[in-house]
Amino acid sequence: MRRFFSTRRFFLCGKNKISILNPCSSCSTIICTTLYRLVVLGMFCLLVTLLLERDAATKTVAPPPPPPVASSRIFCIISTYGYRHNSAAVYVKRTWAQHCDQFLVVSDDSHEELEPAVFMNLPDKWHQLRAHLEYVYKYHFDDGDWFLYANDDNFVVIENLRHMLLSYKSEELIYFGCKLRSLTNQVYMYDGSSMVFSSATLRNFVLQAMPNETLCTSRAMGNAATEELGRCLSKIHVQAGDSRDYLGYHRFLPFELKDHLGNPLNESVDLHKNFLARSYYHVPDLIVQASVRSISSHVNYMPNIYNLFYLTYKVKHFGMPLVKKWHDNPKDEANGEGLYEP
């Protein structure tokens, strides 16, 4: 019977025969080595391909982080009195003041821990405010882009202040605070909350307004210090900025937080009554709503400032990412959602 397959097609007989089952049995060293190298190379390539496919299926490549946003330097001025050093000012110095780029305590007496700049024989608040701002301009103007003037019973979230100021330039003639309007229609800031001045505003106040008696009086003004400040600044074309958030909620709060968490103000309380009579903005249902981006509030019992500082900076929420950014969507903010994004 005729063969359909010839063994010669599979085997080379004789001296140099090659067996498919044992290709190196009688082949030359070069051919044998080449075959083994090809087999090893093929297995290596297959292994690398499988590993790459596995990594692609199980890992998500993170996008490169966005470039950091340059934030302005905030120089904090903390106003206090000698009799309040240990009962108030030291609490501020040990907590939120540490988040300022630099800070200075101004007082009428010295203190070992606070190391304040001392201004003696200035009983009038307007004279004190003028002296404090002039001193900071002369000796610390180059240390900040914005200058926060706070009382020793304020609690300030510096990071929220930085966020608000991203929309402004320190070269602008502008300042912020809790905005009021006097009976003579003069716009000014509430003295129980803090205020923040651009560097241009501080410079022009000291160099233009203060030396000119027609622009800015040097007479004693008593409790009308910030009202007189507002008049001086308006004369040199400084804008009283709107510090509220997208929803019209307040960032600079005049009273304690508990008074701004949906509760109406009490008109029988003199402080509340006076504020309502002079508020620059309409107060619906007597409610001055606190923004979720609150910057400044008043503290009555100063040891509570440690609680506020702990809850603001130290508490970590389970399931919340550590890296967050603000959303500027008022609809999200109204729902209390979408304020942060990992």
Tell me, what's the pLDDT at 328? 54
What pLDDT tens digit does each residue of the chain (342 aa) get?
555 544 444 444 455 554 544 554 555 677 777 777 777 777 777 777 777 776 555 444 455 555 455 678 999 999 999 999 999 999 999 999 999 999 999 999 999 999 999 999 999 999 999 999 999 999 999 999 999 999 999 999 999 999 999 999 999 999 999 999 998 999 999 999 999 999 999 999 999 999 999 999 999 998 899 999 999 999 999 999 999 999 999 999 999 999 998 889 999 999 999 999 999 999 999 999 999 999 999 999 999 999 999 999 888 877 766 555 555 554 444 444 434 333
Angle at 242 between CA 238 and CA 245, to 5 degrees: 155
Tell me, what's the pLDDT at 296? 97
Angle at 15 between CA 11 and CA 20, to 5 degrees: 25
Tell me, what's the pLDDT at 42? 76
For residue 14, give both structure tokens.
């004789």
User: What b/e sequence results for 78-89 when a residue is b if at least 16 CB atoms lie within 10 Å of its CB, and e otherwise?
Assistant: bbbeeebbeebb
Tell me, what's the pLDDT at 252? 97
Tell me, what's the pLDDT at 12? 47
- The residues near 173 (Cβ < 8 Å, ≥ 6 apart) are 198, 200, 201, 204, 236, 237, 238, 239
pTM given for the model: 0.76
Domains of the chain: 74-317 (3.90.550)
